[in-house]
Structure 1
Amino acid sequence: MNAPVLTIYRRITRWPAGHRFFSRLICLKAPYFATIAPRFVALEPGRCEVRICDRRRVHNHLGTMHAIALCNLAELAAGVMTDATIPADMRWIPKGMSVEYLKKAVGTMRGVATPEAGVPGAGGGREWPVGVEVTDDTGETVLRARVLMWVSLRKHG
């Protein structure tokens, strides 16, 4: 399973500032995620780690990280992990997401996405759950998310 996104990640991150460049490429493909200024830290089949810094533009009225910024981090990590994990002849789209806000989010946030089930095989469309844990600088979990992906075969032609 050598998905194009994973191949690009492996090539680019060998360069100086490669992680920054890869992060920008992802935001060019999906521009909305640029609002949280993500930084990809690790990507491999079955795992994606993304960080976002504590900046005023992602704060709520309390001065902590806004809940939707955390949701964006979770969706981004889950989506890129899914893309790097499923077979190349498959495609995905988020179908739903449930979240638990466990603690005020202050400081740099780290989101790690991992699948809850084995890699989907060939066949018709199916749901594929992805778990995302977002932790703060101290390693405490501030948000737990479950992103339900719809995975199906790519249409040819």
Structure 2
Amino acid sequence: MSSTLALYKKITALPQGKRIFSVLFSQKAPYFASVHLSVEEMKPHLGQVVVPKRRSVQNHIGTVHAIAACNGLEAAMGLLAEATCPPDMRWLPKGMDVQYLAKSTTSLTCTAESTEADWAGAPDVPITVKAVTKDGTVTVAGTIHLWVVPKK
């Protein structure tokens, strides 16, 4: 089990644990803090965060900016990768292919998912990602490509 996943399990067992873990996670990569995300789920093959609709992430038409959505997707992928990557391997994102499918008119739930078969294809590991509004509309969907190699 990765140290990040162990920390997630330990902290989220406490009162206000998800909020505390979300703050700590956002400090690890400061650009995650810019979207004020909250971590909803972290386990092997699944990462999920919520990006709230706030003025700081809105574009000129008052919807959540596409790049803020991508930031949430990358955060969800990072949780998944930390929970899934074998301990003798390391992961690095090497690309993101996304489509903007609809306006992001509410807070977004950003989800990253993979399968064991995806990881069996290392070093190239595709992670499926999507951002969904409160009413279930998928606004951004795509794949984040990871490079998974042995630690040196």
TM-score exceeds 0.5: yes
Partner of 2:135: 138
1:79 lines up with 2:68 in the alignment: no
Equivalent-residue separation in structure 1 for 2:108 and 2:77 (angstroms): 15
Gaps of 5+ in 1: none
Superposed CA deviations along residues 75-102 of structure 1, whole A, max 9, x for unmatched, are 1111210111011111111100011111
Match of 1:33 in 2: 32
The 8 Å contact of residues 116 and 129 in structure 1, kept in 2 or not, is answered as no
Per the alignment, residue 107 of structure 2 pairs with: 108
Q: Please say if residues 117 and 129 of structure 1, whose CA atoms lie closer than 8 Å, have aligned partners that are also in contact.
A: no
Q: Sequence identity of aligned pairs in percent?
A: 37
Q: Note the aligned Cα RMSD (angstroms).
A: 1.6
Partners of 2:102 and 2:112 lie apart in 1 by 19
Q: C-alpha displacement at 1:42, in angstroms?
A: 1.0
- Any idea what SS the aligned residue of 2:98 has? strand
C-alpha distance in 1 between matches for 2:74 and 2:137 = 19
Encode CA deviations 1:94-133: one digit per residue, 9 max, x unaligned.
1000111110001110011101552636xxx611000011
Name the counterpart of 1:12: 11
How many residues align? The count is 152
Q: Secondary structure at the match of 1:70?
A: helix
Unaligned runs of 5+ in 2: none
- Distance in 2, matches of 1:71 and 1:133, equals 9
Structure 2: how far apart are the matches of 1:86 and 1:140? 30
In structure 2, what is the equivalent of residue 89 of structure 1? 88
Runs of 4+ in structure 1 off by over 2 angstroms are 116-121
CA contact (8 A) 2:47 2:78 kept: no
CA distance in 1, matches of 2:113, 2:4: 16
